[in-house]
């Protein structure tokens, strides 16, 4: 419905959950329609922009210069807004911190500079003095920037921001230099290119003409293939993308080209066609509500959905507290009135997994229960290094909480956390608090982790608390996956409701538990 009404870039952020345990956005088969909506919104503005430029230009001799000035000024403002919001700079009054990056990504105002770059490119004259050698260097530079973005960008890339300049500027340079070379070849009357070059060029031209239709079809094909068979490797993505060429060819020939080459006459036909293109998706969207309900309400999907639902600690914000005694801990405490003792559960996101179990087990015992966890933060006083960055807030959370637990010792302190991840995954290192040295090797990390965990348990016991250490939650990994890499781990959210509905527990495919999951405890 959002795509049909040219507003998918606003609908998708509203319907897509964010956060530590959010379902991957890659499971949305219509995620790619956000850019189409931004494009359509831009097409609504461009005629007014051109009309403004024309009204200014007819009164002045330098018409093209006025157009460039207006386009360049608009692009500069849009780019500045894009970069600022991407890096959480307060540039829009009243816009919350958590919404700045999504606005930078999805807003037509922050992505307008990319379209305006194309408009500037179209209006630039092709210089006759640029030599073929200079044009080839310019084209190679542009293609190099695009390839650099393709090879270097990852899920960790802060985007769009400054990073978006690489593919946009690279594409503009390649197109402009190609235009210069084409015009020079036409003027110089060069002979035909070698046959293999002509064949390759024709293939690329054919693929380029098909690219818009292929863009429409490739993403739904990839999403449904991955959602139905999440245990498959990269080959399934390649196969799905290749298979989507078939409907892309059909829609290009029978829809895109038919409407493009059809003469536009002042009749009701085009208006009726446009109305149907908007109304039919809205009707289909309303019909899918019933289908979606039948899938989600099935017993199997309902059971999986309940298991994947946020835990009570996530709902109450217990992972956002700075320590076990911080302001706000009361919303993470149960059975506090008239209690004869207390149980405190601390740790990383694994601790949050056991919140309901501890809450229900302590109910009626006279013991109060408090949960305070920090996601991706083991409850040991070591400085954790994640992807080359020291996680200072994690170290502060643990050391501050230990001091507070010693000052006001509870009856029981339960520590729950991941041992496999921090001691095995290559993205993690640790700084030894005694020597100050960086520890990278997995076996050395395990020894340091065990030493500091033992010292933590000893401190809590001396303060008068009993200590319960809970093993980590089991993690399902791909069979034969390389140890030390995070990617092989499966989450329940990797299974789409459709795959769960059809295949049930087998939606993850063949899997096994890591033998090193309990290496410490």
Task: Per-residue pLDDT tens, the chain, 521 aa: give them.
Answer: 999 999 999 998 887 766 555 556 677 889 999 999 999 999 888 888 778 777 777 776 666 777 778 888 999 999 999 999 998 888 888 888 778 888 999 999 999 999 999 988 888 877 767 788 899 999 999 999 999 999 999 877 888 999 999 999 999 999 999 888 877 665 555 555 567 777 777 888 899 999 999 999 999 999 888 877 776 778 888 999 999 999 999 999 998 888 777 776 667 777 888 888 899 999 988 888 777 777 777 777 777 777 777 899 988 999 989 999 998 999 999 987 777 899 999 999 999 999 999 999 999 899 999 999 999 899 999 999 987 888 899 999 999 999 999 999 999 999 999 887 888 888 899 999 999 999 999 899 999 999 999 999 999 999 999 999 998 877 665 544 444 455 455 666 667 777 777 777 666 654 444 444 333 32
Helix axes 165-188, 108-123, angle to 10 degrees: 20
In whole angstroms, give the CA distance from residue 513 to residue 478: 9
In whole angstroms, give the CA distance from residue 265 to residue 91: 46
pLDDT of 488 reads: 52
Buried b (16+ CB within 10 A) or exposed e, 421-437: bbbbbeebbbbbbeeee
Name residues whose C-beta falls within 8 Å of residue 319's C-beta, 6 or more positions apart in sequence: 20, 313, 349, 352, 373, 374, 375
> Residue 422: phi, psi to the nearest 5?
-65, -30
The stretches of 297-379 forming alpha helices (DSSP H) are 299-308, 312-316, 349-353, 355-362
pLDDT of 146 reads: 96
pLDDT of 187 reads: 55
Q: Is the dihedral of CA 143, 145, 146, 147 positive or negative?
A: positive
Phi-psi region of 346 (alpha: psi -120 to 50; beta: other; left: phi over 0): beta
C-beta of residue 423 within 8 angstroms of C-beta of residue 449: yes
Three-state secondary structure call for residue 372: strand
Q: Output the CA–CA distances (angstroms, integers) from residue 502 to 227, 478, 493, 512, in the order listed.
A: 12, 21, 15, 22
First CA to last CA distance, the chain:
51
Q: Output the CA–CA distances (angstroms, integers) from residue 424 to 419, 480, 489, in the order listed.
A: 8, 16, 13
In the DSSP assignment, the letter for residue 336 is -
In whole angstroms, give the CA distance from residue 239 to residue 218: 10
């Amino acid at each position: 419905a959002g795509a049909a009404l040219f507003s998918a870039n606003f609908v998708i952020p509203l319907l897509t959950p964010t956060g530590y345990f959010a379902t991957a956005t890659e499971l949305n088969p219509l995620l790619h329609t956000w850019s189409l909506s931004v494009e359509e919104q831009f097409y609504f503005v461009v005629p007014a922009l051109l009309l403004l430029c024309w009204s200014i230009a007819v009164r002045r001799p330098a018409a093209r210069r006025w157009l460039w000035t207006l386009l360049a000024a608009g692009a500069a403002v849009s780019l500045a807004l894009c970069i600022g919001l991407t890096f959480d700079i307060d540039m829009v009054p009243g816009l919350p911190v958590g919404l700045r990056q999504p606005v930078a990504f999805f807003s037509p105002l922050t992505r307008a500079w990319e379209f305006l770059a194309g408009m500037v490119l179209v209006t630039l004259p092709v210089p006759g003095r640029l030599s073929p050698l200079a044009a080839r260097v310019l084209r190679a530079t542009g293609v190099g920037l695009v390839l650099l973005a393709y090879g270097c960008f990852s899920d960790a890339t802060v985007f769009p921001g400054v990073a978006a300049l690489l593919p946009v500027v690279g594409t503009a340079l390649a197109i402009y230099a190609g235009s210069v070379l084409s015009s020079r070849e036409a003027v110089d009357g060069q002979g035909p290119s070698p046959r293999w070059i002509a064949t390759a060029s024709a293939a690329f031209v054919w693929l380029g003409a098909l690219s818009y239709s292929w863009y429409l079809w490739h993403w739904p094909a990839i999403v449904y293939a991955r959602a139905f068979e999440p245990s498959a490797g990269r080959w399934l993505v390649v196969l799905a993308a290749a298979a989507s060429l078939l409907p892309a060819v059909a829609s290009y020939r029978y829809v895109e080209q038919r409407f493009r080459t059809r003469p536009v006459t002042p009749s009701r036909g085009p208006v009726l066609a446009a109305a149907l293109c908007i109304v039919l998706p809205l009707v289909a969207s309303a019909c899918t509500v019933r289908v979606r309900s039948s899938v989600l309400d099935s017993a199997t999907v309902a059971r999986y959905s309940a298991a994947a639902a946020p835990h009570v600690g996530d709902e109450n914000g217990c992972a956002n507290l700075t320590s076990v005694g911080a302001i706000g801990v009361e919303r993470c405490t149960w059975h506090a009135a008239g209690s004869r003792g207390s149980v405190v559960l601390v740790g990383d996101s694994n601790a949050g997994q056991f919140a309901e179990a501890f809450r229900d087990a302590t109910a009626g015992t006279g013991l109060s229960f408090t949960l305070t966890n920090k996601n991706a933060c083991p409850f040991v006083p070591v400085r954790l290094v994640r992807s080359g960055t020291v996680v200072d807030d994690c170290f502060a959370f643990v050391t501050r909480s230990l001091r507070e637990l010693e000052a006001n010792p509870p009856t029981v302190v339960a520590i729950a956390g991941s041992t496999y991840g921090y001691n095995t995954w290559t993205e993690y290192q640790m700084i030894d608090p005694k020597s100050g040295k960086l520890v990278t090797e997995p076996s050395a990390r395990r020894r340091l982790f065990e030493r500091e965990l033992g010292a933590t348990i000893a401190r809590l016991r001396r303060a008068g608390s009993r200590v319960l250490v809970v093993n980590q939650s089991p993690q399902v990994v791909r069979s034969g996956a390389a140890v030390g890499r995070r990617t092989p781990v499966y989450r329940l959210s990797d299974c789409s409701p459709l795959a769960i509905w059809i295949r049930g527990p087998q939606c993850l495919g063949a899997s096994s538990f890591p033998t090193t999951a309990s290496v410490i405890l």
